[in-house]
Chains A and B, each alone.
Chain A
Amino acid sequence: MLALLPLILQAATPVIVTSAAPEQVAVTVYRDPERAADVPLDLGWLGGRALVTETRTIDLPAGPAQIRFEGVADGIVPVSAIVTGLPGGTVETNRDARLLSPAGLVDGSLGRIVHLRRTDPVTGKVKEEDARIVAGPAGGIVLKTVDGILALGCSGLSETPTYDGVPQGLSARPTLSIVTTSPQAVRATIRLSYLADEFDWQADYIARVGEDGRTLDLFAWATLANGNATSFRDAETMAVAGKPEAVEPPRAQDAPDPAVSLQCWPAGRTHEIPEWMPVPPPPLPPPPTAPPAPAFDGDIIVTAQRRQEKLQDVPIAVLVAAQENLGDLKLYRIPEPVTVAANSQKQVAFLTKRGVPFQTIHALLVQPAPADEEPTPQDADILLRLHNREKDGLGLPMPSGRVAVMAPRGDRDLSVGEGRLPDTAVGQEVNLPVAKSAQVQGLLIAEGRGVWRYEVSNANPYPVTVEAVIGFPQDQLRGALRRMERRNGLPLWQVTVPANGRQALSFRTKDKD
């Protein structure tokens, strides 16, 4: 779509060429670096960005011309705009925030003649007279007519100014324009690229535990969101994982207030002699609407602890985004053009892997209870451990995101936990805490001064692998603890607890100095 409206205004001013829309557009979405992996996207407040690259065709006259770009994203960071492909180069780039609005019309017509239209409320007769705008729009509007000076909207009559035309320089939206000088009239294909706010994306993983209980089927969505009022039709769409540095952009020039508030002189009346007026209380919130009665379909849900929902098998994706390296970042490219619609989100698969082996670990942290509290048993964290290696069935960069873990039960899937994955490079070990287990608990008992016994119980009918980190200060460790394998600098007790059984570790620590 292309509309060319060359308008010759005055001999001295450049010709205005309007480029209504791009023919081709590419959108690369960057994640909000401040948003944690488990915080969902909020379409009303997107903190990421996008690089928008548009290809436009324009007919340029010889000589100076001003090209106005319409249909750019409203979240544009104007200082990031780059235009290439102009035969005459760019003389200057401007972004004007003076908007066509009631206040803009008054401001742009200041000192000029407008028409003041009054309508008689009884007869409906319309009277018009010429008036010059003397002041406004801030603080009200003052007009001059043949009668004298008067204020608009203070008489109680229905009156409004009408204008002969739109003052120059006012536009419907903040407008990006460039000034160029072409050596001859030419049809040019140019490329406009800019960064825009109000975009975001995230990865969402679905890990489905296989029938064997030892492998996962892994599926990931890239969820792209556009909070702009601009749609990008058939766009080459990409998402970038990793954390590019971002500078708080200088705020785009705020448009002057577009609304006029017609203020008058003080208008108190005799019967309005102010008394102390109690502030009326805010209206009561409407009573909470009762949740609709669930349609009874024969299933009685006894507990809300665990969501039970039917899910299909891991979806089969036809369109899968391809990954490539972009410097030290990862770029995901959707292989065919898609439309990134205004104020909407879109999901495309970017990862499917079947049969990824994993381990389930029950993790515990051994720490003495505060002196004034009874020692209480601690629930174990259930960790899923994967190795992001090709030989372990994976070996792909994994952008940060939420992971929903599903396990089959007969013909339905159950949610068995939810975790968050950080940006994970190839070769890294992934330890994903997905839930707490009350079946596996640890209890630390002080048997004497510096004499401890740690007991792990397993109420499951199968053995579990337990990793307990001894979280005592380094300088209190002694004896056997010092010779133990370490994790992150702390002694690690690894043990397999038999089905419906217990295991215990006795150790001593040094007293604090």
Chain B
Amino acid sequence: MIRHATGALLMLAPAVAPVAATAQTAQGDLSVTIYNGGRSLVSDTRSTVLTAGRQKVEFPDVSAQIEPATVTLAGEGIGIVEQNFDFDLLTPAKLMEKAVGQTVTIVRSNPATGAETRETAKVLAANGGVVLQIGNRIEVLRDDGLPVRVIFDKVPENLRARPTLSVTVESRTAGTRPLSLSYLTGGLGWNADYVALYDRSAGRIDMQGWITLTNNTGTTFTNADTLLVAGQTSAARNQTRTIARPGTQTAPRERLGDFYLYPLPQRTTIANAQTKQVSFLDVSGAPARTAYQYRSGSLNGSDAFGSATTILKFSTARDAGLGDALPAGTVRVYMRDQRGAAQFVGENSIGHTPMGSDLSVATGSAFDIKVRAVAASREKVSDTKARTTMRYTLTNASPEPVTVDLIQSGLGWIATEVRILSESLPSERPSVNEARWAVPVPANGEAEVVAVFETRG
């Protein structure tokens, strides 16, 4: 039986305020849209007190990886004069650098008595060491190595403890109103992680899908309304080699153009340096089967037996499948051992997979199923023609009969033509470069395929 949970994400909880990672934040009503590629759109509506006229409004606690060129600010009755992104970090060295030409207070401690004396000093320079003018004297700060405290009057402007966006706005009226700020940031991305429990004897899988968010922006996003967008919003190549045949069905989920949307049903705090997972898919009892494949890369063969690859085949179709589109991620496959405990048997990554696709996920090498491809003989027929006899030996040490997809590739060079003159089992030629045999191998037995190739050119 196939049970489906689609549409809304699977979350059973009523509104829960998540644990705030930092108690205080200047962030307002946050909504975050996260794309696969690690680039996200943050919009932050903050209640701001404005006076009438021109003024500077500061927005601390924006992402440290903000792309300042993408910032937009909107609010009732305001016009933007200019905006600055200050990421000049407040440090002791910067503090001193900005104090050049200004006066500071120095407090000397007498090393013998501990008595303190205060003086006012003017900072002349901070190059390699700090040069001070005290009255008519010029001296280098702590040149004698004795303790001296330097006290500054204020923190210089534009030096920040946290990256801060500041915008100069022109406001028509005074008063408190919501300003909505939005920007793109790097460092916040997501992918999917799938847990597939495979029951080989029943030919079924149970599949759970998790959205995995990672935040390394340097900033915690507090209590954010979160929406995930699946798809490549840049032209980067989607990894699709696990898709045997792309599907043509539309998944029952919210879409935006060609992209699927995965809204989280409740607000969440995405802390800095955090990996967060929420469930989005839970399907049980979808049909699945095991297939085996062995690929011989060239007509030179090899003298050693190699293991066939174990491939898990299943579908994302509405009928007899998972019935959903799968965002790119990692599929981890588990099987039950003799005591019924789930054991890990391999993992692989999948690309964005439309609903209705046939998937072939390679999970590992089969211990008991081995193949050897040997070039048994090679003769020159003429100056341009050669004949190669390939002998493929397939062994199966398992108690079940299996069928191995035996693939000979390397047949389609640009200037050569390879024909199969004779073969002990009919092949199909999925492409000019490959010949494929579906070889039945009996339980605890062996099979052999012999094929003669003629290479011309």
Residues of A at the B interface (CB closer than 8 Å) are: 9, 12-14, 16, 26, 28, 30, 51, 53, 64, 66, 78-82, 88-98, 108, 110-111, 120-123, 125, 134-136, 138-142, 144, 147-152, 154-157, 167-169, 179-181, 193, 195, 238, 240-247, 249-250, 252-256, 263-272, 274, 324-331, 333, 397, 422-423, 425-428, 474-475, 486-489, 513
The answer to whether A244 touches B344, judged by C-beta atoms less than 8 angstroms apart, is yes
Q: Is B16 an interface residue (CB 8 A)?
A: yes
The answer to whether A253 touches B275, judged by C-beta atoms less than 8 angstroms apart, is yes
- Closest Cβ of chain B to A484, distance in Å, is 12
| A169 vs B398: C-alpha distance when bound (angstroms) | 52
The answer to whether A155 touches B89, judged by C-beta atoms less than 8 angstroms apart, is no
| A167 vs B21: C-alpha distance when bound (angstroms) | 9
Q: Which residues from B are CB-within-8-Å of A92?
A: 18, 268, 276-278
The answer to whether B151 touches A267, judged by C-beta atoms less than 8 angstroms apart, is no
Query: With A134-B155, A148-B151 as given contacts, are A13 and B271 in contact (CB-CB < 8 Å)?
Result: no
- Closest Cβ of chain B to A10, distance in Å, is 9
Query: With A94-B275, A245-B346, A397-B397 as given contacts, are A155 and B149 in contact (CB-CB < 8 Å)?
Result: yes
8 Å CB interface, B324-381 against A: 330, 332, 335, 337-338, 341-349, 362-370, 374-380
The answer to whether A96 touches B148, judged by C-beta atoms less than 8 angstroms apart, is no
Q: Is B145 an interface residue (CB 8 A)?
A: yes
Q: Is B24 an interface residue (CB 8 A)?
A: yes
Q: Which residue of A lies closest to B345 (CB)?
A: A327
| A156 vs B150: C-alpha distance when bound (angstroms) | 11
- Closest Cβ of chain B to A199, distance in Å, is 12
| A425 vs B372: C-alpha distance when bound (angstroms) | 13
Q: Which residues from B are CB-within-8-Å of A12?
A: 17
| A442 vs B361: C-alpha distance when bound (angstroms) | 49
The answer to whether A98 touches B368, judged by C-beta atoms less than 8 angstroms apart, is no
With beta carbons under 8 angstroms apart, the residue of A97, A246, A249, A326 that contacts B337 is: A326
Q: Which residue of A lies closest to B389 (CB)?
A: A489
Chain B positions 7 through 37: 1 when the CB is less than 8 Å from some CB of chain A, otherwise 0: 0001111101111111110000000000000
Give me 19 other A-B pairs in contact (C-beta within 8 A), A92-B278, A149-B152, A268-B128 excluded: A26-B341, A30-B344, A78-B275, A79-B210, A91-B11, A93-B277, A120-B109, A135-B161, A149-B155, A150-B151, A154-B150, A155-B148, A267-B130, A331-B343, A423-B307, A428-B305, A428-B370, A475-B386, A489-B303
Query: With A325-B398, A326-B343, A425-B370 as given contacts, are A266 and B129 in contact (CB-CB < 8 Å)?
Result: yes
With beta carbons under 8 angstroms apart, the residue of A13, A142, A181 that contacts B19 is: A13
| A405 vs B85: C-alpha distance when bound (angstroms) | 70
Q: Which of B42-50, B76-84, B111-119, B251-259 contacts A (4 or more CB under 8 A)?
A: B111-119
Q: Which residues from B are CB-within-8-Å of A265?
A: 92-93, 95-97, 126, 130, 141
The answer to whether B343 touches A28, judged by C-beta atoms less than 8 angstroms apart, is yes
- Closest Cβ of chain A to B397, distance in Å, is 4
Contact count A vs B, C-beta below 8 Å: 341
Query: With A98-B271, A123-B114, A181-B16 as given contacts, are A169 and B21 in contact (CB-CB < 8 Å)?
Result: yes
| A247 vs B194: C-alpha distance when bound (angstroms) | 13
The answer to whether B344 touches A156, judged by C-beta atoms less than 8 angstroms apart, is no
Query: With A140-B92, A142-B90, A427-B397 as given contacts, are A156 and B17 in contact (CB-CB < 8 Å)?
Result: no
- Closest Cβ of chain B to A248, distance in Å, is 9
- A selection of 7 A-B contacts at a CB cut-off of 8 Å is A98-B274, A154-B150, A252-B275, A266-B130, A267-B129, A272-B129, A331-B343
- Closest Cβ of chain A to B266, distance in Å, is 8
Q: Which residues from B are CB-within-8-Å of A331?
A: 337, 343
8 Å CB interface, B59-112 against A: 89-97, 105, 107, 109, 111-112
The answer to whether B130 touches A193, judged by C-beta atoms less than 8 angstroms apart, is no
The answer to whether A142 touches B337, judged by C-beta atoms less than 8 angstroms apart, is no
Q: Which residue of B lies closest to A245 (CB)?
A: B346
Query: With A64-B16, A98-B272, A139-B93 as given contacts, are A111 and B395 in contact (CB-CB < 8 Å)?
Result: no
The answer to whether A79 touches B378, judged by C-beta atoms less than 8 angstroms apart, is no
Q: Which residue of A lies closest to B111 (CB)?
A: A122
| A241 vs B272: C-alpha distance when bound (angstroms) | 39
With beta carbons under 8 angstroms apart, the residue of A79, A141, A142, A427 that contacts B193 is: A79
The answer to whether A244 touches B346, judged by C-beta atoms less than 8 angstroms apart, is yes
Query: With A111-B161, A148-B152, A181-B16 as given contacts, are A168 and B22 in contact (CB-CB < 8 Å)?
Result: yes
With beta carbons under 8 angstroms apart, the residue of B140, B290, B379, B446 that contacts A475 is: B379
| A139 vs B95: C-alpha distance when bound (angstroms) | 11
Q: Which residues from B are CB-within-8-Å of A486?
A: 376-377
The answer to whether B365 touches A122, judged by C-beta atoms less than 8 angstroms apart, is no
Q: Which of B11, B92, B276 has the most CB of A within 10 A?
A: B92
The answer to whether B364 touches A245, judged by C-beta atoms less than 8 angstroms apart, is yes
| A12 vs B194: C-alpha distance when bound (angstroms) | 32
| A81 vs B344: C-alpha distance when bound (angstroms) | 12
Q: Which residues from B are CB-within-8-Å of A97?
A: 273-274
Q: Is B315 an interface residue (CB 8 A)?
A: no
The answer to whether B93 touches A246, judged by C-beta atoms less than 8 angstroms apart, is no
Q: Which residues from B are CB-within-8-Å of A180?
A: 13
Q: Which residues from A are CB-within-8-Å of B89?
A: 135, 138-139
- Closest Cβ of chain B to A125, distance in Å, is 7
Q: Which residue of A lies closest to B97 (CB)?
A: A265
Q: Which residue of A lies closest to B379 (CB)?
A: A475
Q: Which residues from A are CB-within-8-Å of B332?
A: 80, 195
8 Å CB interface, B252-295 against A: 266, 268, 271-279, 290
Q: Is B198 an interface residue (CB 8 A)?
A: yes
Query: With A397-B367, A489-B374 as given contacts, are A149 and B273 in contact (CB-CB < 8 Å)?
Result: no
Query: With A91-B12, A135-B91, A238-B343 as given contacts, are A168 and B20 in contact (CB-CB < 8 Å)?
Result: yes
Q: Is B433 an interface residue (CB 8 A)?
A: no
Q: Which residues from B are CB-within-8-Å of A397?
A: 367-368, 397
- Closest Cβ of chain B to A274, distance in Å, is 8
With beta carbons under 8 angstroms apart, the residue of A108, A142, A144, A425 that contacts B368 is: A425
- Closest Cβ of chain A to B321, distance in Å, is 21
Q: Is B52 an interface residue (CB 8 A)?
A: no
Q: Which residue of B lies closest to A267 (CB)?
A: B129
The answer to whether B14 touches A474, judged by C-beta atoms less than 8 angstroms apart, is no
- Closest Cβ of chain B to A14, distance in Å, is 6
The answer to whether A134 touches B18, judged by C-beta atoms less than 8 angstroms apart, is no
Q: Which residues from B are CB-within-8-Å of A26?
A: 341
8 Å CB interface, B125-151 against A: 126-130, 140-143, 145-151
| A327 vs B200: C-alpha distance when bound (angstroms) | 8
Q: Which of A16, A180, A425, A428 has the most CB of B within 10 A?
A: A425
- Closest Cβ of chain A to B450, distance in Å, is 12
Q: Which residue of A lies closest to B362 (CB)?
A: A245
Q: Is B408 an interface residue (CB 8 A)?
A: no
Q: Is B158 an interface residue (CB 8 A)?
A: no
The answer to whether A270 touches B330, judged by C-beta atoms less than 8 angstroms apart, is no
Q: Which residues from A are CB-within-8-Å of B364?
A: 242-245, 328-329
Q: Which residues from B are CB-within-8-Å of A66?
A: 19
